Structure 1
Amino acid sequence: MKRTAMELAALATAAVPGLTPAGVASIPDEPEDFDSAMIVDDANQRWRVRAPRHEEASMRLERELTVLHAFSPAVRAELPFLIPSVVGTIRQGALRTFVYNHVQGTHYDLDGMAILGESTAIQLGRALAAVHGLPDDVAERGDFPSYSAEEFRQRRLNELDQAAMTGKIPVTLLRRWEHALEDVNLWRFNPTLVHGDLHEESFLINDSRVVAISGWTDVHVGDPADDFAWLQACQDSAFVTSVMDAYVAERGEHADPHLSRRAALAAEFALAQWLSRSIASGDEESITEAQHMLEDLDKDIREFGGQPISVIEQPQMPAHSPTVSVLEDDDAASVSDETSSIAVVPVGDADVAADEEDSESVAESEPESEPESEDDSEESPVTISNEDSSEISVEEDEADPEASEPANAKDSDQR
């Protein structure tokens, strides 16, 4: 359900008693999930309204309310940025709209952040380090979902299997992601509290300083690399390096040496997750867009190699994705003739040919001997002289004439 800015203002007046809007404007948000607006009241105070478009988005806002309650005043005071507070809610059917106090600041896209320079990069790195350094009792108080490193890796593997079943993801990407997920060295990290839904619109910046972080709908204990996935789209490598350096400096010995690799993997894999969600919801437009983005990613990785996402180097991939075709009987026989050095001989002829070859080889390599006895079913005794170990005599029984009848018969037939 899409709502206009005026409709959101009306909902805000119902959610917050005494609120009298004097002005309203739409603001950026996740377009598939939320409608948002900024309201200015008659006292020149600002309020943010966020309304879900469907039930799943409404549940995310409900979870955010739990998260914000878990951030006690003491925890908020320790953070280098502000966290919004919910000042009122109103429910319409299954959907619940939330009103937040406004924090002064500006939203920037990635290019805009990079233009702000190194000071903003350092601020971002320190802000993320503060999130990942929140005490364990915050997660316990909020009863957030919690995953160990191995549990997190297994969840990703399960998601990869589901994505592969769609049949819409290039084979190169599937193999690349599978190789990274099976590289156990990559997944040795200490789980931390993670924001879980960071992107450019999550940050409010004022004078190159991060003043607030919003959108706490997917908080959990898991892989800190997920909070850096949004940064991988930045074209300014120096800016990204400055963010990571500031983060490592703040985290110290708790810093993860493979954080950047898993962040790059998370950024790529997000496309597969988006495709799976779009297929589940039947959104054909999003399915097509996701497929095109996956194809572009596949092309870039084939041409330029992509960002490293594994500790152990992946085996070299072929220049083009392999194709599988079904051959007709005649084509299959032709391919077999070209690629196989084994001659196919009818069974009867093969027996005769084998007998002839055996007869010729025996005649050339062995002297004529008496036929073996039918009773000689055990190995012939071998006697080694005690005086000279090199003297070996083999005792053979006389052959039974009946044992040679099949061979004599065949010789008679050939004559």
Structure 2
Amino acid sequence: MARSHFTLAALATSAVDGLDIAGATPIGSPGGDFDAALLTGRDGRHWIVRVPRSESAEAAQSADLVALRALSAGVRARLPFAVTTFAGQAPAGDTRAVVYEFVYGAKAELASLDHDLATSIGEAIAAIHALPTSFVADSGLPSRTGIEAARDAAKLFERAIATRVVPAVLQQRWERAIGDPTLWQFAPAVVNGALEAESFLASDGVVTGLLGWQSLHVGDPAVDLHWLLRAPGDGIAETAFGAYARVRGSVDRQLTERARLLNELELAKWLLHGTATKSTEIVDDAVELMSGLVDTISQNDTASIRRPESTLDVDEVEELLSRTATAR
């Protein structure tokens, strides 16, 4: 049974010493992962209180708290947007209520991204990737190399193929890309790991905050960018990638190609989710989406994810090695 915003407000006062609440408003969807409320203090400050509704939501909340603690004041000062701060917690039945400082801004929507916001999102992601990797390692958070990223993709591919419903065109396309070692030549960077349009808070076309840090790790920068390729607006993805490249540079010449591969492999993940949950509806939807991708590939004559011009020259290799060293 969902907890009311009044109950959540009472839990928040137990979690944060001296919190004097003047008002509370329920937020989120009734069927979401959390019971949540927006709180207004008598001093005018705003807070969010959330209680997970499932074990998976509780695990995500715990991982998010670990990441928020890793994001020290010095690290946050390098980011051009706000990151919420943990304020306190209190027992709530078999789980816990967690209170955070409120971050202002409206959630972005993929369908309505414009070029101004796409530019700001590209710059925001670049700022995350420019953070020193050492703080992630010092916090005990995961690190993934290019070789490990390729292995992960290969394992996902093999599991999807085992379902016997992946079209032959996609099998060949994905196998060729995953097996190309040059595709995985990148300097591991700090990545959020769970970005989507709704992760970003914005105002007047500028990113003001970023929510959801539960998958923070060091790894493939393309993990944070591939979702942009699904933006329906004309040239939106190109705008975001261009803004990212202006901040980060263009030494990762296969970034767009890896992002394209990871974006397409989301269909494989959706298929496997359907088989794991024994949902014929999800499996049928995944098969339909893969068929649509095959049609798109045929119409655009893009049989390969990779571009032919892919070899790094000496200067680019030196820049790649330098970036890896200075990011630590």
TM-score range, shorter chain: 0.7 to 0.9
Cα deviations across residues 208-267 of structure 1 (Å, max 9, x unaligned)?
Answer: 2111111001111111001011211112343322221221111126x4111111111111
Corresponding residue for 2:125?
128
How big is the shift at 1:40?
3.0
**Which amino acid is the alignment partner of residue 165 of structure 1?**
A
Counterparts of 2:208 and 2:92, CA distance in 1: 32
The answer to whether the 8 A contact 1:34-1:53 is kept is: yes
Alignment of 1:194-343 (within 5 A): 194-252=191-249, 255-283=251-279, 285-305=281-301, 309-311=305-307
Q: How does 1:131-150 map to 2 (within 5 A)?
A: 131-150=128-147
Gaps of 5+ in 1: 314-415
Question: What is the CA–CA distance in structure 1 between the aligned matches of 2:5 and 2:264, rounded to whole Å?
Answer: 34
Rounded Cα–Cα distance in structure 2 between residues aligned with 1:172 and 1:3? 49
Which residue in the other structure is 1:46 paired with?
46
Alignment partner, residue 102 of structure 2: 102
Q: Find the residue that maps to 1:78 and give its secondary structure.
A: coil
- Structure number, greater radius of gyration: 1
Work out the number of aligned pairs and report it.
308
Displacement of 1:8 in angstroms is 4.4
Distance 1:2 1:166, change over 3 A: farther
The structure with higher relative contact order (CA 8 Å, sep 6+) is: 2
Using structure 1 for the length normalisation, give the TM-score.
0.67
Query: What RMSD in Å do the two structures reach over aligned CA positions?
Result: 2.8
Amino acid at match of 2:89: T
Q: Relative to structure 1, is the Cα distance of residues 301 and 102 closer, same or farther in structure 2, using a 3 angstrom cutoff?
A: same
Distance 2:6 2:170 in 1: 44
Alpha-carbon deviations, 1:19-42, whole Å to 9, x = none?
53613132369x664454433344
Query: SS of 1:257's equivalent?
Result: coil
Moved more, 14-23 or 123-132: 14-23
Task: Sort the Cα spacing of 1:307 and 1:122 in 2 relative to 1 into closer, same or farther, 3 A.
Answer: farther
CA drift of 1:122 comes to: 2.6
Question: With structure 2 as the length reference, what TM-score do the two structures score?
Answer: 0.83
Structure 2 CA distance for partners of 1:37 and 1:279, relative to 1, 3 Å:
farther
Q: Is residue 24–residue 37 contact of structure 2 (8 Å, CA) maintained in 1?
A: no
The yes-or-no answer on 1:26 pairing with 2:27 is yes
- CA shift in 2, pair 1:136/1:24, >3 Å: same
Q: Are 1:178 and 2:179 an aligned pair? A: no
Contact map agreement 2:173 2:304 (CA 8 A) in 1: no
Q: Which runs of 5+ in 2 are unaligned?
A: 310-328
Please say if residues 127 and 210 of structure 1, whose CA atoms lie closer than 8 Å, have aligned partners that are also in contact.
yes
In structure 2, relative to structure 1, the CA distance for the partners of 1:94 and 1:245 (3 Å cut) is same
Aligned with residue 162 of structure 2, among 151, 159, 165: 165
What percent of counterpart residues are identical? Answer: 34
